[in-house]
Amino acid sequence: MLGTMFSRKTRTPPAPAVRARIFLDLTQTVVYAVGDVHGCYDALASLESKIVEDARSHDGRKLMIMLGDYVDRGPDTARVLAHLAGPPPAGFERICLAGNHDAAMLDYLEGRTGLEDWLALKARPTLYSYGIDPDHLAGLLRRPGEVDEAIRGSIPEAHVAFLRGLPVIAFSRRLVFVHAGIRPGIPLEEQTDADLMTIRRGFLDAQAPFERWVIHGHTPVDFPRPNGRRLGIDTGVCESGRLTALRVIGSRGHLLFS
């Protein structure tokens, strides 16, 4: 159980590992990039079924790229993680990238941040999805650290391993797929994990066009519109009820909605 990793004898939590970066060869590949899910399993299942149906009309390799933030806000984080940790739809490959909420959940589970810090990111629905009520636990458990131990011991190890293994960026010669964006003027190989998962203004305000198209989430939009070789496809599913995917074939893009 994960909780046993954080007994009184364990004082120093493991440092976060630098996340993997993936170079993509997209020759004869149909790509479906999917925006922030945020615990909304029903929207994910609906969009995934539409992607599978859409892909029947296209030849070649089928690749689904999830842009991060699978957890928090919505009601079904546990179900979303169980689904994404499993196999992709038949005939598809799937890459799941890390978002800042995913990293924050792992930081709590591995002891780098406290529960209140994680809850401030609207993580309470995540805990509820695992059958955990942190307020009820706090009333039952009195010894310092017992609540953390109980929570950490209740999250399946497969879900923790999934969060731990998420790469932070995937890119081809023409396209970049990332959760938040990239910092202008910095080679992709030198971008920090923190920027790739959290950047906003330095990326969104950049005036010069990027060398590659950057497909990202993180910053909600009412409707995805290209902006200086940027395209954000986080359509705020928890509020709008709409989860968005971008299908890319060569230089052509097409939007799909849950």
- Helix, strand, or coil here: 96? strand
Which residues, 6+ apart, have CB-to-CB distance to 195 below 8 Å? Answer: 180, 181, 182, 183, 186, 202, 203
pTM over 0.85: yes
| pLDDT confidence tier of residue 148, bands split at 50, 70 and 90 | very high
Which residues, 6+ apart, have CB-to-CB distance to 52 below 8 Å? Answer: 89, 92
Q: How far is CA 86 from CA 79, 93, 167, 169, 184, in A?
A: 11, 12, 16, 20, 35
Interval 42-46 mean pLDDT: 98
| pLDDT confidence tier of residue 256, bands split at 50, 70 and 90 | very high
Kindly tell me if the per-residue pLDDT of 2 is higher than 70: no
Task: Tell me the average pLDDT of the chain.
Answer: 94
Q: Which of 70-74, 122-126, 178-182, 226-230 has the lowest mean pLDDT?
A: 226-230
Q: Which residue bears the tokens 């589970």?
A: 109
Kindly tell me if the per-residue pLDDT of 73 is higher than 70: yes
What pLDDT is attached to residue 144? 76
- Helix, strand, or coil here: 199? coil
What pLDDT is attached to residue 142? 81
pLDDT digits (tens, 9 = 90+) for 212-252: 999 999 999 999 999 999 999 999 999 999 999 999 999 99
Interval 79-107 mean pLDDT: 98
What pLDDT is attached to residue 1? 35
What pLDDT is attached to residue 12? 84
- The CA distance from 182 to 180, in Å, is 7
Kindly tell me if the per-residue pLDDT of 33 is higher than 80: yes
Residues in the chain: 258
